[in-house]
Amino acid sequence: KAGVTQTPRYLIKTRGQQVTLSCSPISGHRSVSWYQQTPGQGLQFLFEYFSETQRNKGNFPGRFSGRQFSNSRSEMNVSTLELGDSALYLCASSLGTGSREQYFGPGTRLTVT
C-alpha cells in the first residue's frame, strides 16, 4: 500500500499571500489530521477530518482552514501568510477517529519571507 503523500514538499511564499497544501491518505483511511511543527512550539494539532466533516479544530486563527473530499484527500489553506507561519506541515491518516494508529506523511516545509 502506498503511504501518505503530501504535495508540495517545499514551498516558499511571501507575507500576505495564501497557500494550499494537499494530503492524500493511505487507501481506505477515512480520517486525516493536520499538524504544524515549528522549532519554538513543537508539534501542534490543526484539524481533523473524517468523512468530509471537520471533527476537531485546534487553537489556530481563522486564517487556517481545511477541507476533505469524498475520496478522503484533504487540503489545508492558510490565507494572509505571516512570517510565523513558516513551519513543517504534517498530515496523518488513520482508519477512523479516536484511538487509532496514525500514519504520517513526509510533510510540506513552508517558508514565508
Residue 21 in the binding site for another protein (CB under 8 A): no
Interacting positions 43-62 with another protein (CB under 8 A)? 43-45, 48, 56, 58
Q: Which CA distances in Å does 47 have to 33, 59, 113? A: 6, 9, 25
Residue of 9, 19, 26, 37 whose CA lies nearest to 75: 19
Interaction mask 71-110, another protein, x per CB under 8 A: -----------------x-x-x-----xxxxxxx-xx-x-
Residue 2 in the binding site for another protein (CB under 8 A): no
| Cell numbers standing for residue 113 | 519571507
Q: Please, what is the minimum distance in Å from the beta carbon of residue 43 to another protein?
A: 4
Residue 28 in the binding site for another protein (CB under 8 A): no
> Which residues are CB-contacts of 24 (< 8 A; sequence separation ≥ 6)?
4, 5, 6, 73
Residues 83/74, Cβ–Cβ less than 8 Å:
no
Q: Which CA distances in Å does 41 have to 14, 44, 68, 72, 104? A: 22, 7, 26, 28, 19
Residue 33 in the binding site for another protein (CB under 8 A): yes
Q: Please, what is the minimum distance in Å from the beta carbon of residue 44 to another protein?
A: 7
What are the residues binding another protein (CB under 8 A)? 33, 35, 37, 42-45, 48, 56, 58, 88, 90, 92, 98-104, 106-107, 109
